[in-house]
Structure 1
Amino acid sequence: MEQPKRTLHELKIALAILRINAIAGSSRYRVISSSALFLCWRNSPSDTLVEVLRARITGRYAQNTFEGLLKRVDDISIGRSAADVEAFLSARLPSAASISSAVRNTEYKRALEEAVNIPQELHPPQERGMTSRGVKDDSLYDYSASISYRREPAQQIYTTYPIYYGTDRLQEPGRTVKFGGFRGDGTIAYGVAEVSVPHIHREGKLERPWLWPTQTKGNPNKHIVIHSNELLALDAWFTSAKDYLSQQGIGQDPSKKEGLLFIHGYNVGFDAALWRAAQLCHDLKFPGLMLCFSWASLGTPGGYPTDEATVDWSAGNLRQYLTHVTEQLGLSALHIVAHSMGNRALLSVLESWKHEPGTTPIHQVILAAPDVDTSRFKQFGQAFETFEQVTLYASRHDRAIAASRFVHSYSRAGDARPPLVMNSLATVDVSAAGRDMFGLGHSYIATVSKVFRDLFYVVRHRHKPDQRAGIIKRDEGYWELT
């Protein structure tokens, strides 16, 4: 893999973090683990290191220290041995030892001490809640270390759903299965995650601990929670999915043998993709197999250019995943919901998709807020007649789409100014539904009840627009949510 380019600014920050970690008397005073720093240094795309680190750093003390380093970066000086440490960071020096053991090596610590000098006030405190001068400093106190956690109630008041996923993200080291925002080696990892939705869940909401880091598991009786995540070999993944379908008891309900695939958009981490997939499965009361393809979104707001490049790179992997799903699982039908930038990968695949006899047909294709060039979208439209129904949801209030239009200087298919009208496409202008809870109007597909109920009739009953309540047809040829 090509080593990303790093700036002097990024090198100073990385060396300063390693230096703080080396002299910290306790793990609670580390900004981020050295192993995690090495991972980010080697895999973060150029010019994204600071934002990627910021998204991973948790705890008030660590966050304050990191922001302090950014503000005082000009006061951080590097010495002659900085090049040696940087070579080790970038994996240009062979080492049989693991990173965790190497950073404890005396020679490494000596080289690090000579490589960087940081302001004294940014040194880790010698005692809990104390600065290096022995003065109480509440601004640096790590409150997260003092939080006590209640045990989960014995009563289970949630429902668990298996999410059969594929991802081309890089698997990160650790005791549990973890995928971050970096690209993998081009292969797809297959697995099944058990995700629960609490009984207090409100339709369209994504219940998560408020103002807590995304790494926090949460309380399953209050939040959408990932309970387990198991990687499987491809054959085992096929077997597991088929066993689940057989356990559903198809009986008189053929929809129990259908599949629903969710493809997320920009700025979405792996866990967040699973949360949303479970929420869709729950709210749609979908009885069949819930699937999720998680492409390697960086998962940070500033990662838009990186995500644009990655979603194109992921299209081939999505095609492979979709081929396995339609050829090997024996589903009676497959429905697909793609959101935002995820539409780019999906449309790239569907443009040349051919239904082969004996494979699962793709019935409902839902293109929600597609961040896709309008002219390019029209080219994709030539393939829409291949599928039972293609639905486009667009909004005039989608500020994320408006920002994309400004950046690219061309209109986007997810914008309803005006709504697209094409053959074999049912366009629904959902502007009347208002704005979503974050004020961007971009997640309305899953957060606005009116839109969600229309989606319910598309996926569960495969109704055409003229069969659904709450929408009317305009003279221009598109449909409008009322």
Structure 2
Amino acid sequence: MPRICRRHLSPERPHFVRLFCCMVAGGAMILVAGCASMGLSGVSEPAAEPHSVAMFVASTRKGEHGASNETAVEGGARFSLQQIGVPPDHTPGKVERPSFGSEDPQKHFVAVSRRVLDENEFFSELASHISGRIGSNRDVLIYVHGFNTSYDEARFRLAQIAADGRFGGVVILYTWPAAGSLLDYGAAKENATTSRDALTKLIHRVAELPDVGRVHVLAHSMGAWLAMEALRENAISGSPDLNGKLGDVMLAAPDIDLNVFRQQLARLDASHVSVLVASNDRALSIARTLAGDRPRLGGLDLNNPTDRAALDELGVKAYDLSAEATGLIKHGTFADAPQAVRTIASQITSSRPQDANTQAVLGDRPVDSKIVTTPLAPLTGAPAAAPPQ
């Protein structure tokens, strides 16, 4: 405290004098603290801006909230182009949303803008976003969410995956009325069934875009069944590899009966397909019970010789996420665990011969060379890539 105030705070001084001195001293301390937070120019540093993810959305939901969120729309899908804000201090693997109160773009994932499109406008706008890109930035990632997932949960989850994986291509959310509780499991499967045709058409039309690179599909839980059905329908119609455009098909915790999966895969080239499994996935354990104790593909135990032999026979690549699983349910590990997201990112951004002379830029942020993006060791298929030196 300044010497003058120490002297004027003497008990002999009137109360108003002592109060005035305290105010002066406090103001001086605030001024010093404020100056410490400013740069040399005397202006405080601006807050970091949220990162924005452009997202195309094809939805078979009648609406975005309430009962319409769980009801299928008639006559195909609804389309939009959205911007989703990712907070500047986002933690990989997390979807920061407010527990209560208003959302804050500096702290939470938020919907920044939404432009409704008709079907032709959707594909025209999509083609425009792809045009002029090079390398893997011409690729499209279609994300199909799983059971018991709301509209907001789906779009914010995809934004998180795109941001954490630093995917430089174009992302599309395919969202369907996935019901809202465990008791609606049967209804959700029926909604997924009615959503097959629209997804089949979406995948086919994306693959036909003139400048598109590869079309990747990332599907979770019951959405994996839906995605495989759509790919099977395209294969039956004469395009099993989407005329050479099919990229990686990554099935995360797939809620698919093993025998059903065999039939779906019979129409496709298994080398395109990767399965992310976790034997400790409690959601799939419940799904197995609801399905009459029929094993789910995503719940296979790779330490079990029978399960391992079954996947070997199918010829797909398999990744065991059991050790990465966290939380009570352990069903969202593919996106919750940063290493799992990096596995997905390294898979869909791997180099290919036709891009040998191009440089891929992952999003609008440079790759951090300190981040090791070594995939989890696959059960089958090509060996994992070595980490960058």
Aligned with residue 335 of structure 1, among 207, 210, 216: 216
The corresponding residue for 1:193 is: 82
2:251 aligned with 1:363: no
2:352 aligned with 1:471: no
Aligned with residue 271 of structure 1, among 134, 144, 152: 152
Which digits, 9 at most, give the CA deviation of each residue in 1:121-147, with x for residues without a partner? xxxxxxxxxxxxxxxxxxxxxxxxxxx
2:294 aligned with 1:410: yes
The 3 A distance-change label for structure 1 pair 469 and 364 is closer
Aligned with residue 281 of structure 1, among 141, 156, 162: 162
Which digits, 9 at most, give the CA deviation of each residue in 1:207-253, with x for residues without a partner? 1112x3xxx7621111111112221012222222223234xx52xx4
Which structure is higher in RCO with an 8 Å CA cutoff and minimum separation 6? 2
Aligned with residue 157 of structure 1, among 39, 43, 49: 49
Cα distance in 2 for residues equivalent to 1:205 and 1:412: 26
Q: Counterpart of 1:361 in structure 2: which amino acid?
A: K
User: What is the CA distance between 1:287 and its match in structure 2?
Assistant: 0.9
User: What is the CA distance between 1:305 and its match in structure 2?
Assistant: 1.8
Cα distance in 2 for residues equivalent to 1:335 and 1:283: 17
The corresponding residue for 2:73 is: 184
Equivalent residue pairs, number: 309
The corresponding residue for 1:170 is: 62
Which digits, 9 at most, give the CA deviation of each residue in 1:307-338, with x for residues without a partner? 11111111111112222222236311111100
User: What is the CA distance between 1:479 and its match in structure 2?
Assistant: 9.3
- The 5 A counterparts of 1:371-410 are 371-385=255-269, 389-408=272-291, 409-410=293-294
The corresponding residue for 1:207 is: 96
Q: 3-state DSSP class of the match of 1:157? A: coil
Cα distance in 1 for residues equivalent to 2:54 and 2:125: 10
Cα distance in 1 for residues equivalent to 2:257 and 2:242: 34
Gaps of at least 5 residues in structure 1 are: 1-153
Aligned with residue 292 of structure 1, among 164, 170, 173: 173
- Over the matched positions of the two proteins, sequence identity in percent amounts to 23
Aligned with residue 445 of structure 1, among 334, 338, 346: 334
Aligned with residue 221 of structure 1, among 102, 106, 111: 106
Equivalent pair of 1:416/1:429 in contact (CA under 8 Å): no
Cα distance in 2 for residues equivalent to 1:415 and 1:469: 20
Q: Counterpart of 2:341 in structure 1: which amino acid?
A: F
Equivalent pair of 2:61/2:73 in contact (CA under 8 Å): yes
The 3 A distance-change label for structure 1 pair 377 and 478 is farther
The 3 A distance-change label for structure 1 pair 221 and 377 is same
Cα distance in 2 for residues equivalent to 1:405 and 1:361: 34
Q: Counterpart of 1:436 in structure 2: which amino acid?
A: T
User: What is the CA distance between 1:355 and its match in structure 2?
Assistant: 3.0
Q: Counterpart of 1:335 in structure 2: which amino acid?
A: H
The corresponding residue for 1:454 is: 343
Cα distance in 1 for residues equivalent to 2:241 and 2:343: 31
2:119 aligned with 1:238: no
Aligned with residue 427 of structure 1, among 313, 318, 327: 318
Equivalent pair of 1:308/1:341 in contact (CA under 8 Å): yes
Q: Counterpart of 1:188 in structure 2: which amino acid?
A: A
Query: Higher Cα Rg: structure 1 or 2?
Result: 2
User: What is the CA distance between 1:380 and its match in structure 2?
Assistant: 1.4
The 3 A distance-change label for structure 1 pair 410 and 282 is same
Equivalent pair of 1:284/1:460 in contact (CA under 8 Å): no
Gaps of at least 5 residues in structure 2 are: 1-45, 302-306, 353-372, 385-389
TM-score for both structures, normalised by structure 1: 0.59
Cα distance in 1 for residues equivalent to 2:192 and 2:341: 25
Q: Counterpart of 1:346 in structure 2: which amino acid?
A: A
Cα distance in 2 for residues equivalent to 1:357 and 1:310: 26
Equivalent pair of 1:394/1:413 in contact (CA under 8 Å): yes
User: What is the CA distance between 1:462 and its match in structure 2?
Assistant: 6.2
The corresponding residue for 1:344 is: 225
Equivalent pair of 2:288/2:294 in contact (CA under 8 Å): yes
Equivalent pair of 1:427/1:479 in contact (CA under 8 Å): no
Q: 3-state DSSP class of the match of 2:275? A: strand
The corresponding residue for 1:144 is: none
The 3 A distance-change label for structure 1 pair 282 and 357 is closer
The 3 A distance-change label for structure 1 pair 479 and 443 is farther
The corresponding residue for 2:7 is: none
Cα distance in 2 for residues equivalent to 1:308 and 1:344: 9
Equivalent pair of 1:334/1:360 in contact (CA under 8 Å): no
